[in-house]
């Protein structure tokens, strides 16, 4: 199994964080190879209000149409940009914020306590296992798909963590986006569709409202 150090790179602000089988890249043009050891510093990048302009988190969550008791895993949760919003949206549900960087997991746990989010659980994943406590209705990957190694194998295994009607949502930078990782590292939406089809998933929805990213939702055929 290919294992790489936890890294940071890319352009602009994005929700990359540590993901099993993934090399995590930071979202700053001057931060090509840094560790995610200082979560308090990275929250100024990942949770910058200016990110909301193009990431459109509220619209993303509305498009996912989750019931209030949904169980969700945010893989590569970082400082909680989406995980915290999900926890507030799902008062009767549960959000697993997964990261392999211990300082991010520490920060997520402290943030959940500080913001009284009893339904947000920080999870210390490993490079080959998200360590989810149970099956979920949705797995969300924002700006991390293009770092996953052995993707067909990884997503086949990830399916074991889904409930029968579970979905996977992939949001990542388009090849022509003015921000994001180096263009050579980007993966086009059509390739994502093809890879997940081979991993046993069917494309359920495509959303086109994000200016810099594609937004694809997949489900396991029943």
Residue spans per domain, the chain? 39-219
113's CB contacts (< 8 A; 6+ apart) are: none
What pLDDT score was predicted for residue 6?
31
The helix or strand, by DSSP H or E, that contains position 79, with its residue range, turns out to be none
What pLDDT score was predicted for residue 3?
31
Asked whether the beta carbons of 119 and 96 are under 8 A apart, the reply is no
Asked whether the beta carbons of 144 and 19 are under 8 A apart, the reply is yes
What pLDDT score was predicted for residue 43?
59
**Distance (Å, whole) CA 166 – CA 137:** 4
Please tell me whether residue 95 adopts helix, strand or coil conformation.
Answer: strand
pLDDT digits (tens, 9 = 90+) for 110-146: 999 999 999 999 999 877 788 899 999 999 999 988 8
What pLDDT score was predicted for residue 37?
55
- pLDDT 10s digit of each residue in the chain, 222 long? 333 333 232 333 333 433 333 333 333 332 333 445 555 554 555 666 789 999 999 999 999 999 999 999 999 898 999 999 999 999 999 999 998 889 889 999 999 999 999 999 999 987 778 889 999 999 999 998 887 888 999 899 999 999 999 999 999 999 999 998 899 999 999 999 999 999 999 999 999 999 999 999 999 877
Q: Give the side-chain half-sphere CA count within 13 A for 177.
A: 29
What pLDDT score was predicted for residue 144?
83
Please tell me whether residue 104 adopts helix, strand or coil conformation.
Answer: helix
What pLDDT score was predicted for residue 45?
58
User: Does the CA dihedral 134-140-146-152 come out positive or negative?
Assistant: positive
CATH superfamily for domain 39-219: Vaccinia Virus protein VP39 (3.40.50.150)
**Distance (Å, whole) CA 152 – CA 197:** 9
What pLDDT score was predicted for residue 60?
98
């Amino acid at each position: 199994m290919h294992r790489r150090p936890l890294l940071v790179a890319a352009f602009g602000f994005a929700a990359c964080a540590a993901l099993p089988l993934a090399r995590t890249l930071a979202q700053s043009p001057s931060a090509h190879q840094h560790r995610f050891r200082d979560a308090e510093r990275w929250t100024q990048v990942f949770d910058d209000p200016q990110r909301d302009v193009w990431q459109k988190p509220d619209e993303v969550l509305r498009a996912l149409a989750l019931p209030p008791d949904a169980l969700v895993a945010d893989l590569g949760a970082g400082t909680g940009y989406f995980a915290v919003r999900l926890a507030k949206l799902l008062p009767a549900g549960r959000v697993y914020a997964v990261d392999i960087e211990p300082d991010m997991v520490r920060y997520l746990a402290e943030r959940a306590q500080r913001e009284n989010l009893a339904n947000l659980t920080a999870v210390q994943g490993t490079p080959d296992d998200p360590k989810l406590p149970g099956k979920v209705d949705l797995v969300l990957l924002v700006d991390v798909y293009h770092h996953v190694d052995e993707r067909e194998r990884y997503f086949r295994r990830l399916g074991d963590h889904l409930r029968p009607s579970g979905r996977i949502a992939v949001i990542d930078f388009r090849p022509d986006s003015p921000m994001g990782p180096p263009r050579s590292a980007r993966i086009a939406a059509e390739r994502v569709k093809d890879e997940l089809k081979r991993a046993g998933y069917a494309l359920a929805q495509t959303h086109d409202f994000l200016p810099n990213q594609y937004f694809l939702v997949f489900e396991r055929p029943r």
